[in-house]
Amino acid sequence: GAVVSQHPSWVICKSGTSVKIECRSLDFQATTMFWYRQFPKQSLMLMATSNEGSKATYEQGVEKDKFLINHASLTLSTLTVTSAHPEDSSFYICSARGVAGGTDTGELFFGEGSRLTVL
Amino acid sequence: RKEVEQDPGPFNVPEGATVAFNCTYSNSASQSFFWYRQDCRKEPKLLMSVYSSGNEDGRFTAQLNRASQYISLLIRDSKLSDSATYLCVVYTGFQKLVFGTGTRLLVSP
C-alpha cells in the first residue's frame, strides 16, 4: 500500500531557531498533502493543505508566515517552523491521500510524525 | 458544538469483552466516515471505513446512522493489543477531514 515517510521523527531545538520537517510519498505521487498538529490528549488539527506547484491553503488561526509550506514536487512537501517557541512544541503529522493505479483511493496515509520540542 | 465529538474515555475492559464507541458529527452534508486507530506517540492508521449499510471486518463492526448523525464502532472479543485510541474521522468535502479527539481503550488481562 501507499507509504508516506516523514523526517525527522524527533527534533529538539532552541527557541528562535527554525526547523524543517519533510514529508515524502514513497510509492505514489501526491498532488495534495496535509499537515496536522496534535497536542497531548487532543485531536489532530489540520494546519494546512499543501498543493504541488502552488501556495498552501492554511486553516483559520494558523500563521502562514510562521509555518512555511513548500510542495515543490509530487512526492515531497516540507513544513518549516520559523522562529520556533516553546508553545510550538507539538506532534506534527503529514498525510496524503492514497493513489493506486492513478486513482484516488480515498484512504489517508500518514507519515510517522515529527515530535518537536522547543527549549 | 464541535464538528466531531467522541467520549474521550478511557474505556477499561477485560480481555474478551465487547465494547462499543459512538461518535457524533454536526455537518449533515458529511460524505465519508472512518475509524482510525492511534497508538501512543504514533501516527493514526486506518482501521476501517464506515459504509451506510454497515460493515464488518473480523471482530470490528462499524455502523452509520445518518438520521441521527452518528457512527459507531463495536469491538468483540477484545484483545490486549486492541488497547489504543480510536479516532472518529469525518470527511466533510473539499478535501477536509475532521478528527474527533479520540476514545481511549484499555484492555486488561
Report whether B35 contacts B89 (CB < 8 A).
Answer: yes
Side-chain-side CA neighbours of residue A110 (13 Å): 22
Preceding peptide of B10 cis, ω within 30°? yes
Q: What separation in angstroms does the CA of B103 have from each of A17, B5, B54, B86?
A: 35, 10, 20, 5
State the cell numbers at B73: 464502532
Confidence of residue B71 (pLDDT cuts 50, 70, 90): very high
User: In percent, how much of chain B has pLDDT > 90?
Assistant: 68
Q: What is the mean pLDDT of residues A68-89?
A: 93
Q: What is residue B26's DSSP assignment?
A: S
pLDDT band of residue B97 (cuts 50, 70, 90) is confident
Question: What are the residue ranges of helices labelled H in chain A?
Answer: none
Asked if A110's CB is within 8 angstroms of B101's CB, the reply is: no
Is A41 an 8 Å CB contact of chain B? Answer: yes
The pLDDT value recorded for residue A28 is 81
User: How far is B4 from B37, CA to CA, in rounded Å?
Assistant: 16
Q: Which of A11-15, A47-51, A52-56, B74-78 has the lowest mean pLDDT?
A: A52-56
Average pLDDT, chain B: 91
Q: What is the pLDDT of residue A108?
A: 78
Tell me which residue in B42, B43, B99 faces A43 most closely, judged by beta carbons: B99
